[in-house]
C-alpha cells in the first residue's frame, strides 16, 4: 500500500503490554470484513483511484475506506463520526 497514508502496524507492541490484535476476538465481524476486502481486486471492480496519485498529500487506501464502509453498513452506523466513536 505504498503511496497512501500508512496506518499503524497492528502487531506493533506499544507502551502497554496489549496489542490491537489482542483487543479484538478471533471471531469478531471486523476480521471477516478485513479478510473479505483483502481478497478483492479493487482495480478490477472499478475503483479507479486504487492506484495512488503522484502529487499532493497522499490519500487513504481505498481498501481501508471500503472496510470502514462495509463495517458501518453491517452495524447500521451510517455516520463517519459515529464510526469514529
pTM (predicted TM-score):
0.65
Could you tell me the residue ranges of all domains in the chain? 22-84
Q: Which pLDDT value is given to residue 37?
A: 92
Q: Which residues make Cβ contacts (< 8 Å) with residue 12, sequence separation at least 6?
A: 19
- Residue 61's Cβ-count burial label (10 Å; 0-12, 13-18, 19+) is buried
* Enclosing H/E stretch for 74: helix 62-74
pLDDT digit string, tens, across residues 24-73: 888 889 899 999 999 998 888 887 665 666 777 777 788 888 898 898 98
Amino acid at each position: 500500500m505504498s503511496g497512501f497514508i500508512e496506518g499503524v502496524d497492528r502487531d506493533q507492541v506499544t507502551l502497554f503490554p496489549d496489542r490491537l490484535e489482542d483487543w479484538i476476538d478471533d471471531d469478531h465481524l471486523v476480521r471477516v470484513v478485513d479478510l473479505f476486502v483483502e481478497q478483492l481486486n479493487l482495480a478490477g471492480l472499478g475503483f479507479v483511484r486504487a492506484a495512488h496519485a503522484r502529487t499532493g498529500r497522499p490519500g487513504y487506501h481505498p481498501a481501508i475506506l471500503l472496510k470502514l464502509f462495509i463495517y458501518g453498513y453491517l452495524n447500521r452506523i451510517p455516520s463517519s463520526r459515529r464510526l469514529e466513536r
